[in-house]
A and B are shown apart, each in its own frame.
Chain A
């Protein structure tokens, strides 16, 4: 029996008793998304109820299965083999759950049956959120306990590594190339070729770096993997070590993911204890170990050379390429940098085969890709689908469309530096090329959907602000250009836009492209989208001083609806600036000078307060724009 078989056999025993427990077990999904949903209250209520009722029930934890919209999630596993997912289970639902789910089904909270059959709840696989999905990377997410290496092993974990360590480095590269796996961070460079660069590098030691600095706001695909199946990334990096001869790895996780840091550190310790990291892994010649580095809040560290600087005891400033990391990376030594999801694909390619891997996706883009969708959609969460799946199918079926069925106005993929496309492109196939044709990037998997209540000028101002805030400051084109963009866009939002601003923004975009790294080079994308696809809306802001979505604070005002002037007591009480005041006769009015347009009053009393354009309707055509405009 090989060293791997021994580990696997031990793990299988543990897994079988986990799957079919002696007594009922409640697996509570603990992840960053469930924390927001109040999972710690749920856990406390569960523990309390189990104790006071003296129930023969165990409580354990699992990761997130991507159903973020149903957090807090609880999976009930019973001795009869029935496993049912429930959610959302808030503290106040715990009594119902324990009353009904231990012997029958709690239909009110049931999301779906995971294992077994029930005539009272549908199978989880039939949930609309599971449509179009093929779960390979996410196979363990929400299924195993991410803090138990035996669960990972029993589900086929480290089998790919066991096969890879029996192969030559060249054969590992060949199989990776044959699978067609390319880097998931955004650049879409073939992983096998990148690994081959490192394999061919002369200097030693060689390093691996995993970029888990998932900084694109609104993206959380890497977080789901890091928190829910950390061993997948460790195994993937160990396979890359076998391919490249790297001896040490850094898993660089952003500061905002403390749970991912904790779970990955724990997983690395477990893997080392089982001989899956360290000297002579699984009895082979492979010697490889790794550690987690926690970032401290800097988006630009997601740029690969910024990441290297950050690991090396310094400010996370991107460097000038060449030299490329394969020649001079961490500490000036040969280094391979890949995204979390890139490494996470490696185990299955070696556990199964390159042909198996290519069963899904297209010839050019084989395999599956994880996507997190957020913004104006009914169900926020994370899915895994074959490449070329239509984005619109996911938005409509899986994510339940926009909350009020409003039209999709814009879609932002690939982060703040990637650009925005109008809603008419909703059915683009999810692969890099169609997005590139529209002048944007598909990117790492975070997609933000905006309905027609969105002001695109405001969103672009936000993305440019983000680019400015996170610029490392080296290139004047970048830190100065983004700053000018923000100034101009804010001025437009304040009703002081000029027609000449368009030319100015184009000029700034041209100079931004000369920045050293992708941060500055990508910063024009959002403005470019605004000029190309949303020019009418921009011109309405500039010429008419009007925000069609009525979002820009300086271009709207609030007023008490006529006939309801006596009804604004609650609004007056909530107003943070005392802007809702009374005439002597008791009638309320909005003191425009005090009003900060926070919308609190209208949210509280939508039939009493109304929002209108702050300026008069557009001047007749042909009339000159005011001086300075």
Chain B
């Protein structure tokens, strides 16, 4: 029953998208926006709606770095991999945070509550080096995502000690690795 209900929900969300109209990215973004990720059982629903093979939809999902196939952690450190951050010690920040948290980029704690994600530069380089911390609690179903939702809280001009303190706070709040 629950499975049927979620399928009906996917179908409802993407009902306006059509085959051969360039709607795949729209549909996938819509699903991810509402669920925080693209659940496995949403893939055939998208494929059916857009008249595509399931494999092709799945192939597209895995091609793009920002589509998720599992639920996001409650708290996620988005580490900026850009060159301006790197020039200012961004890679040192990554190594230090990974040591504190006990997992690497794209990893999570054992219970999945905290994670780290590699981000591409968005040009906020005046505050390099930076990470932004996103929180995925209580996804606002139906609402347009704002810059704040999408980007979370930016921790800019980070020193390595400050990054370590930040990782320690997140670790103590979100349980152990």
Contacts and interface: CB of A to CB of B under 8 A. Distances in A.
Interface of A: 30, 32-33, 35-38, 40, 68-69, 71, 215, 217-220, 223, 250, 255-259, 262, 293-299, 310-317, 330-331, 372, 374-376, 379-381, 412, 416, 448, 450, 454, 458-459, 462-463, 466, 472, 553, 574, 576-577, 596-600, 603-604
Contact of A69 (B22, B81, B126, B156): B126
Contact of B82 (A217, A223, A600): A217
Contact of B66 (A297, A331, A600, A604): A297
A599 B119 CA distance: 22
Given A310-B25, A600-B96, A258 B124 contact: no
B159 A603 contact: yes
B124 A35 contact: yes
10 contacts: A36-B156, A220-B122, A259-B147, A262-B144, A297-B66, A314-B24, A315-B60, A448-B83, A462-B83, A576-B99
Contacts of A223: 122-123
Contacts of B120: 215, 217, 256, 297, 299
B118 to A, nearest CB: 9
B17 to A, nearest CB: 10
A380 B84 contact: yes
B127 A32 contact: no
Given A250-B22, A293-B25, A374-B84, A217 B121 contact: yes
A71 B64 CA distance: 31
Given A35-B147, A298-B63, A576-B100, 9 more contacts: A68-B125, A256-B119, A256-B121, A258-B150, A296-B67, A314-B59, A316-B64, A375-B83, A603-B159
Interface stretch (B4-12, B87-95, B108-116, B135-143): B87-95
Size bracket, chain B contacts: 35 or more
A459 B86 contact: yes
B16 interface: no
Nearest to B151: A35
Interface of B: 20, 22-26, 28-29, 50, 52, 56, 59-60, 63-67, 81-84, 86-87, 89, 92-93, 95-96, 99-100, 119-128, 130, 132, 144-148, 150-151, 154, 156, 159-161, 163-165, 167
Nearest to B52: A313
Given A36-B127, A596-B95, A258 B63 contact: no
Contacts of B83: 217-218, 374-375, 412, 416, 448, 459, 462-463
Contacts of A374: 83-84, 123, 125-126, 128
A574 B167 CA distance: 11
Nearest to A575: B164
Nearest to B147: A259
Contacts of A299: 120
A314 B60 contact: yes
A525 to B, nearest CB: 14
A576 B28 contact: no
A463 B67 CA distance: 23
Contact of A218 (B20, B25, B125, B165): B125
A376 B87 contact: yes
Nearest to B51: A313
Contacts of A297: 64-67, 120
B164 A298 contact: no
Nearest to A571: B161
Contacts of B151: 32, 35, 258
Contacts of A36: 124, 126-127, 130, 132, 154, 156
Given A250-B22, A258-B145, A314-B56, A603 B154 contact: no
Contacts of A32: 122-124, 147, 151
A293 B22 CA distance: 9
Interface centre among A256, A311, A316 (most CB of B within 10 A): A256
Contacts of B124: 32-33, 35-37, 68
